[in-house]
Amino acid sequence: MKRIRKEEWRQDVKETLEPSTLMFRAMADKVYLEEYTKGEAIIVSGETLTTLRYIIEGKAKISIVHEDGRESIVDFLGKGDYIGDLTFLEMEKRTKDVAAITDCRCLCVPMNEAIVFLREDNDFLLSLSKYLADKHLRRTWFYVKGLRYELKNRLAAYILMTSDGSIYYQKHTMTAEFLGISYRHLLHTFKIFKENGWIRKEKNGYWFDKEVLEELAKDIIY
């Protein structure tokens, strides 16, 4: 991880970032930048969080390790997501694991000062409420719908959710962990997708037939 104080920001970076710091407006002078490389741990579960982060670039995953040692991916994070919001609100008993999936850049402020300044900032609280409401809605929707549909549909939704353009490039192991199914069964369903011509292996991932998958996923995505 590389930490870059605001004074050190290159001019062009600064201009790009300045607008993104709006949500930390009440403490704009305290903002700094962090850069993580692919695979790096951002938070180790159980540690005390001293930083409130906001992702401006890259993708990360939240995961937990179960008692039996296996791992579940709880959620994916990307541009516009907070890391540490639940600690900021003093609602999380124990922090979870957060790791960068791709290179990531985060805007950061010290947690203890955030608690002092941002809790007085009406605009921040409103936007945080909206952010949480949105997360909750999507999660609930995916949960309720997911229970009703079989893997075929959830997988289609997942492929669409995690891809930009028409290439899917997630690791199967990760997909299985997120969807909460066995690796074996995922592969089985994947095979069916291939046989139906809905996806096709390419050099850098899988091409997929957007129309077909959208039809399969249409009831699941909020």
Report how many residues bind a copy of itself under the rule CB under 8 A. Answer: 39
Which one, 124 or 193, has the nearer CB to DNA? Answer: 193
Contact map string, positions 102 to 141, toward DNA, x by CB under 7 A:
----------------------------------------
- Applying CB under 7 A, does 200 fall inside the site for DNA? no
Q: Fill in the amino acid letter for 148.
A: R
SS3 203: coil
Which whole-number Å values give the CA distances from 4 to 28, 35, 118, in the listed order? 15, 8, 22
The answer to whether 86 contacts a copy of itself (rule: CB under 8 A) is: yes
- Report the partner that residue 152 touches, choosing among DNA, a copy of itself, none (CB closer than 5 to 8 A by kind): DNA
Binding a copy of itself by CB under 8 A: which of 19, 143, 195, 203?
A: 143
Q: Which of 66, 122, 184, 197 binds DNA (CB under 7 A)?
A: 184
Secondary element (H or E) of residue 131: helix 122-148
CB of 79 to DNA, least distance (A): 24
Amino acid residing at 210? K
Contact 206, 169 (CB under 8 A): yes
How far is Cα of residue 60 from the mean position of the Cα atoms in its chain?
5
Stretch that binds a copy of itself, among 14-22, 84-92, 185-193, 207-215 (CB under 8 A): 84-92
Q: Which entry of a copy of itself, DNA, none binds 91, CB below 5 to 8 A by partner kind?
A: a copy of itself
Residue 42's φ and ψ, nearest 5 degrees, are -95, -40
Q: Which residues, 6 or more positions from 33, have their beta carbon under 8 angstroms from its beta carbon?
A: 3, 4, 6, 9, 13, 17, 105, 106, 107, 108
Distance CA(218)–CA(220), nearest Å, equals: 6
The least distance separating DNA from the CB of residue 29, rounded to whole angstroms, comes to: 39
Given candidates 19, 91, 165, 197, which one binds a copy of itself under the rule CB under 8 A? 91
Could you tell which of a copy of itself, DNA, none binds residue 11, using a CB distance below 5 to 8 A set by kind? none
